[in-house]
Structure 1
Amino acid sequence: MVAGEAVGHAAEAASHGIDLLPVVALLAAGVIAVPLFKRLGLGSVLGYLAAGLLLGPSGLEVINDPASVLHLAELGVVMFLFIIGLEMEPSRLWSLRKQILGLGVIQVAVCGLLLTGVGILLGFAPAVAFVFGMGFVLTSTAIVMQILGERGELSSDSGQRMVSILLLEDLAIVPLLAVVAILAPTGGEETLVSRLTGIAIALGAIGLLIFLGRRIMNPFFSLLASTKLREVMTAAALLVVLGAALLFQVSGLSMAMGAFLAGVLLSTSTFRHQLEADVEPFRGILLGLFFLAVGMSLDLAIVLQNWGIIAISVAAYMLVKAGAIYAIARALKSSHGEALERAVLMGQGGEFAFVLYTTAATAGLIDGPTNAIFTATVIISMVLTPFFIIGLRYVLPKEETQSMEGVEKADGLSGKILIIGFGRFGQIASQPLLAMHHSVSIIDNDTEMVRVAAQIGFKVYYGDGTRLDILHAAGAGTADVILICTDKKEQTTRIAELLRDEFPLVRVMARAFDRGHAMELIKVGVEYQLREMFESALTFGGDVIKMLGASEEEAAEVVEGVRDRDRQRFEMQLAGADQLEGSRLLLSNARDQAREGGVVLSEEAVEDTIAKSTQPAS
């Protein structure tokens, strides 16, 4: 009562201006609850959910309309998928097609069939059971992505498989809404016409966004970048995300999928890292607000009135869904640990279930109390998921976590030479620089390596070079030369791309894995690259021929000849690859122009032209 009266007085005091109480309460809840729950090892998601439950109608009643907050907070999921899209280049997305269309379809179909059967066993009509089950099939993208992001597993193989399934589930909401319209009691010829019109509009929206992404967005951002106004670029980034979401929303599609597609289309843009940096703060705040709103939406009164059916539904649906996911994963050759982790992470219902249930209620397929029971079931499953993940730690073998004891993080470094990666290659490369008393800063993301380096007299800071904020903290913006000495080629390329886009004036030298990787690094702007074993193997071969009787001069001449021939072959291969790419681009343009004139170029003509264009000049 006291809390309610305080809220009432605050609301009355704010009646002549902006009511800041809900805003302050939400911010305070997030600032206090999340660090506390993280400190207790319960995770940020559970902290947000608990804070939302406390502030909502079932708690202190600071906010009595959680639905309005939830609608706004869904933008957090939208922005999260935009950032994921920025990491999904079309080629990478294409490489995941088998997982998206294979693994994703199998999981949705099998789980949907089983959960529909569970609904029928619980006493619901078949159509209602189908809606209940398919809504629960749609996993919470926000929860899974947040947990994978916190763990740094979004780019891992198991993480990519879960992302693929989530993408398919997000796409599945579109046909599911159409099925609800078919099952609704108000069917007819007019409904069929409107449905076909809706499909045409949806396809048109996808085509329009692809056209804008490929033809308009890059020139648009180039024009804005010339103004050198950071706030304009931030506003443009938000315009792209929200504009794509709005386009898909009015077309009857998922806002999140619109943002994701916009991100994919911009993933090859030179502005992608800038866009990610601009959207990230809004994404974090709004995603936290989404979890707060989900916690607020849990109506304890409805739960108490229908606790029996809700408890049985939560237990049955989560167990059946998790069991099906585990069985599918094992059948497709996943390990026990990966299958169990996927089952626990994806065993809950998600935010798109609310959309499906609301649509079904509006269409008259389910009534209000049934909608409330379904919604409460999904929300409770979302609330329980973090607890199950905590329990999973005691079931699966414990992974060693890096201790930060005795390790200093990179912050405010100002060395003129920045070395990223202090493995065997980085250690040797650093010694001539230190011997010449150059100002050198060194970072590595292995804490044990940092501690070992300190024991032998090297000052190495902890930092992940693939993160833009760490590069800033490590002094990349003020360095004269940056040496990328990491031992994973994907990591090396990622760092080189970040440096090219964010610090284009800095000279970059890199350790290459092999010849193909060396050419890849040159194309992303690395000024000098060296294959990690080339020089050592060449020296080794020179020492062999000296052992077999060659003089120092002969060995040096032979080694230099091998080095020179390799350099020539490398330059020819690099020029040939560039020429081939340029030829394909020219032919693509020629083909477009010919098509506009009513002429179609045959594949034989294309390949013949490419072959001629890539022949070495005489």
Structure 2
Amino acid sequence: MHGDLNSSVLSDALVILGAAGIVIPLFARFRITPIIGFILVGLLVGPYGLGRMVLDYPMLVHVTISDPEALGPFAEFGIILLLFTIGLELSFNRLWAMRKLVFGLGALELVFISMLITAALCMLGQYWTGALGLGLALALSSTALVLPMSGTNNPVGRAALSMLLFEDIAIVPIIFLLGALAPFADSGGMEGLMDTLWMGIVVLGAMMVIGRFALPHLFAQAARTKSPEVFLAASLLVVIGASLVTAAVGLSPIVGALIAGLLIAETEYHTEVEGIMEPFKGLALGVFLLTVGMGIDLAMIWNNLAPIAIAVVSVLTLKAVVTGVLLRLMGARRGTATETGILMSSPSETTLIVLTAATQAMLIQPGTAQFWQIVTAIGLTITPLLALLGRLMAKRVEPAPDLSSFSETRDGQGVIIIGFGRVGRLVADMLTKHDKPYVAIDFDSDTVGQAKRQGYNAVFGNAARVDVLSKLEIDVAPAVILTMDEPVLAQQLTRKLRSNYPELPIIARARDGTHASELYRNGATHAVPETLEASLQLSEAVLVDLGVAVGPVIASIHEKRDEFRKSIKEGGELDYIPKLRTSSAENA
């Protein structure tokens, strides 16, 4: 029995890792989004695909999911990690600045769409309570799919984020409302809602107060170990703990995950947390997409092809039109309104949760719920196609660049300084003096903490991991400056950066001419040897003291520096070094 259980778990793990490691790279090679890949794999290996043939062909048990329901907790964890990383990308200041969009646009979008769907279903004969439950469920859009496609730093992403945040907040009252509308519900339904709301407000307030003081100390201790495993454990502790706390008082766990992300975003450790959590979020989200695919019954779709097709097209069209019109009324340009409306027309993973709640409350029949679950699964599957259609339609209706009120120019955070010791701080001071933005990153928590207290823009992170640097928007950075006094690490990082960002200017600190030559070979744009710069500064000081005019001295220094740099790039010897050694030997 125990052996069978282990075999089942290993078979499921094989399918999941096979999807992530083989199928998804294959889709990426043909420029097809991995989202479709995961869903199609789920369809293939699920109970409505190869899974239904296991009894006839027992060997298929090793390439199918034996218990789809067992993946449910992992799928939910993927959504929790997604909301956590969204919180990391935001901040309380940015969220506060979006409050009008969240509670204005977000509320209007949910209310209008749900009411229109409710009215349409009532006209088709559905009783009003069941129609309301279906309307609220189908009005939701997928946070897990929409935000990874749209991002949050562009007009479409910012508009979508505002609506999705309101929908995530509204999940709890929706679930309670459906319970209160149940045929046998009593007044306890509304009392339970009020209890949840006041307890939730108290808990969220306590989390924000405690988190502001406790999280910097927790991550500082984890950072001092310089162990990725400890830092990962601290990150998971925070996100799981926050999710459990909000779930304990009746709120959705994703609310706790979002708050945890917002709190960490205010610390200097957010970049490292984002980088270290990214692979786990992607894999957990992939499990969620597998479960979506496993819920698609192709036989049922074929037998009800016309009604399902009409339902899918009707819901998507209604949501796209309403969302687009609301955005236009709030001042968005045609391109933004069109693309956002089409992208937001897809249903949500939480639609399945609301449908389950409506069924348990006996507002809709199980057969009706299954029909709309199929519609939801199809909508989730075609979300990447909706994103593509939205971009194409946006270009058609408005070819000009989108400069709406939702826009956020992506200029990056400025020059990236890697290593923030004595040299890094001097570089930061010079950049500040000339009004050039920068962000510094260092793997020493004490160094970063002291820099933050002194007003420097510094974050904690391991710059040897390019995924961490990508969180600093290195792809749009004007330059990267390597100031660490670790020759081998500087060469490795230079080679990695040049490989990933061929056009990026890389200015590196070198110990001497030999080290500078190695850095040039690894792709540095400029390598600055400390020994040569020291000798040039000594020469400048003595010449000025001897009465030589400053202008000619600086010109000769620049000339000599260019001569040294050319020699180093060509890998040649610097003439003055052997001469100094010979002279020294003769004097001895």
2:429 corresponds to 1:496:
no
Matches within 5 A, 1:322-333: 322-333=320-331
Using the TM superposition, name which of 234-243 and 40-49 deviates more.
Answer: 40-49
Residue aligning to 2:468: none
* Distance in 1 (alpha carbons) for counterparts of 2:94 and 2:148: 21
* Equivalent position amino acid for 2:26 in 1: L
Equivalent in the alignment of 2:16: 26
Q: Which residue of 1 aligns with 2:91?
A: 89
What displacement does 1:343 show?
1.2
For residue 499 of structure 1, report the CA deviation from its aligned partner: 5.4
Q: Report what 1:380 is aligned to.
A: 378
User: What secondary structure is seen at the aligned counterpart in 2 of 1:216?
Assistant: helix
Q: 1:42·1:390 contact (CA, 8 Å) conserved in 2?
A: no
Residue 35 of structure 2: aligned partner: 45
Task: Choose the corresponding residue for 2:102, options 100, 103, 110.
Answer: 100
Q: Distance in 2 between matches of 1:251 and 1:275?
A: 27
CA contact (8 A) 1:139 1:347 kept: yes
Q: Matched residues in 2 for 1:192 and 1:16: separation?
A: 45
Shift of 1:65: 3.4
Alpha-carbon separation, structure 1, partners of 2:10 and 2:276: 26
Residue 47 of structure 2 corresponds to residue 57 of structure 1: yes
- Matches of 2:412 and 2:446, distance apart in 1: 13
The answer on whether the counterparts of 1:37 and 1:44 sit within 8 Å (CA) in structure 2 is yes
Return the alpha-carbon distance in structure 1 between the equivalents of residues 15 and 97 of structure 2: 45
2 CA distance for matches of 1:525 and 1:65?
47
Per the normalisation by structure 1, the TM-score is: 0.63
Contact 1:118 1:316 in 2 (8 A): no
Q: Distance in 2 between matches of 1:475 and 1:204?
A: 41
Structure 1 227/39 Cα, relative in aligned 2: closer, same or farther at 3 Å?
closer
Asked if 2 retains the 8 angstrom alpha-carbon contact of 1:326 and 1:342, the reply is yes
* SS of residue paired to 2:362: coil
Q: What letter corresponds to residue 368 of structure 1 in structure 2? A: P
1:131 to 130, 133, 143: 133
Shift of 1:14: 4.7
Task: Give the drift of 1:388.
Answer: 2.6
3-state DSSP of counterpart to 1:496: strand
Map of 2:25 onto structure 1: 35
TM-superposed CA distance for 1:282, in Å, is 1.0
Instruction: Give the direction of change, closer, same or farther, for the CA distance of 1:91–1:176 in structure 2 (3 Å limit).
Output: same
Q: How does 1:120-519 map to 2 (within 5 A)?
A: 120-148=122-150, 153-397=151-395, 481=424, 493=437, 495-496=438-439, 498=441, 504=447
Counterpart residue identity of residue 44, structure 1? P
Question: The residue matched to 2:332 in structure 1 has which SS?
Answer: coil
Q: Is the 8 A contact 1:99 1:164 kept in 2?
A: yes
**Aligned equivalents of 2:272 and 2:164: distance in 1?**
26
Which letter does structure 2 place at the counterpart of 1:95? A
Distance 1:190 1:175, change over 3 A: closer
Q: In the aligned structure 2, how far is the partner of 1:154 from the partner of 1:338?
A: 13
Report the alpha carbon displacement of residue 85 of structure 1 after superposing the two structures with TM. Answer: 0.9
CA distance in 1, matches of 2:133, 2:424: 59
* Superposed displacement of residue 260, structure 1: 0.5
Q: Distance in 1 between matches of 2:68 and 2:333?
A: 41
1:289-310 Cα distance to aligned partner (Å, 9 max, x none):
2112111122234434443432
Greater CA drift, 194-203 or 335-344? 194-203
Query: Contact (CA 8 Å) 1:497, 1:524: kept in 2 or not?
Result: yes
CA contact (8 A) 2:223 2:231 kept: yes
Provide the C-alpha distance between the structure 1 equivalents of 2:213 and 2:233, rounded to a whole number of angstroms.
Answer: 20
Assess, with a 3 A threshold, how the Cα gap between structure 1 residues 70 and 297 changes in structure 2: closer, same or farther.
farther
Q: Given that residues 420 and 441 in structure 2 are in contact (C-alpha distance below 8 angstroms), is that contact kept between their aligned partners in structure 1?
A: no
Identify which range, 375-384 or 244-253, moves more after superposition.
244-253
Matched residue, 1:80? 82
Range that drifts further, 26-35 or 342-351:
26-35
Name the CA distance, whole Å, in 1 between partners of 2:297 and 2:29: 28
Deviations 1:209-268 (A, max 9, x none): 223312322223333334443322211110111111112222221221210011112221
Distance 2:253 2:436 in 1: 34
Using a 3 Å threshold, how does the CA distance of structure 1 residues 195 and 91 change in structure 2: closer, same or farther? closer
The 2-side partners of 1:325 and 1:505 are apart by: 44
Letter in 1 for 2:301: V
Task: Give CA deviations for 1:421-454 in whole Å, capped at 9, x if unaligned.
Answer: xxxxxxxxxxxxxxxxxxxxxxxxx9xxxxxxxx
Alpha-carbon deviation of 1:479?
11
CA-atom RMSD in angstroms = 3.9
Distance 1:505 1:124 in 2: 61
- Residues 95-122 of structure 1 show CA distances to partners (whole Å, capped at 9, x for unaligned) of 1111111111111111111121222233
Letter in 2 for 1:524: N
Q: Distance in 2 between matches of 1:208 and 1:332?
A: 35
- The CA deviation string for residues 540-591 of structure 1, in whole angstroms up to 9 with x for no partner, is xxxxxxxxxxxxxxxx9xxxxxxxxxxxxxxxxxxxxxxxxxxxxxxxxxxx
**Displacement of 1:339:** 1.0
Structure 1 residue 163: deviation in Å?
A: 0.9
Pick closer, same or farther for the CA change 1:309–1:18 going to 2, 3 Å: closer
For residues 442 and 21 of structure 2, the distance between their equivalents in structure 1, rounded to whole angstroms, comes to 33
Q: For residues 24 and 477 of structure 1, what CA distance do their matches in structure 2 show?
A: 43
Paired with 2:279 and 2:352, the residues of 1 have a C-alpha distance of 26
Identity %: 30
> How many aligned positions are there?
436
Following TM superposition, by how much is the alpha carbon of 1:190 offset from its aligned partner in structure 2, in angstroms? 4.0
Q: How far is 1:174 from its partner?
A: 1.4
1:372-425 residue CA offsets vs partner (Å, 9 max, x unmatched): 11211111111122223333454343999xxxxxxxxxxxxxxxxxxxxxxxxx
Aligned residues of 2:19 and 2:41 also touching (Cα < 8 A): yes
Quote the Cα distance in structure 2 between the aligned partners of 1:256 and 1:182: 23
Q: Distance in 2 between matches of 1:505 and 1:270?
A: 7
- In the superposition, relative to structure 1, how do residues 308 and 86 fare at CA in structure 2: closer, same or farther (>3 Å)? same
1:500-539 equivalences in 2 (<5 Å): 504=447, 523-524=456-457
Aligned residue type for 1:496: V
Equivalent pair of 1:82/1:263 in contact (CA under 8 Å): yes
Residue 478 of structure 1 and its aligned partner are, at CA, apart by: 11
1:587 aligned partner: none
Shift of 1:127: 1.3
Q: CA deviation at 1:362?
A: 1.5
Partners of 2:412 and 2:187 in 1: how far apart? 59
1:171 deviates by: 0.5
Aligned AA (1:364): M
Aligned residue type for 1:185 = P
| Inter-partner Cα distance in structure 1 for 2:443 and 2:7 | 48
Opposite residue 23 of structure 1, the aligned amino acid is A
Query: Paired residue for 1:111?
Result: 113
Instruction: Measure how far apart 1:189 and its partner are.
Output: 3.7
Q: CA deviation at 1:193?
A: 3.9
Q: 1:492 to 1:244 in 2, by over 3 A?
A: farther
Give unmatched runs, 5+ long, in structure 1. 1-10, 401-445, 447-463, 509-518, 527-531, 533-555, 557-618
Aligned partner of 1:147: which letter?
M
**C-alpha contact (below 8 Å) 1:138/1:352 kept by paired residues:** yes
One-letter code aligned to 2:457:
V
Q: 1:330 & 1:44 partners in 2: Cα distance?
A: 32
Q: 1:92 to 1:498 in 2, by over 3 A?
A: farther
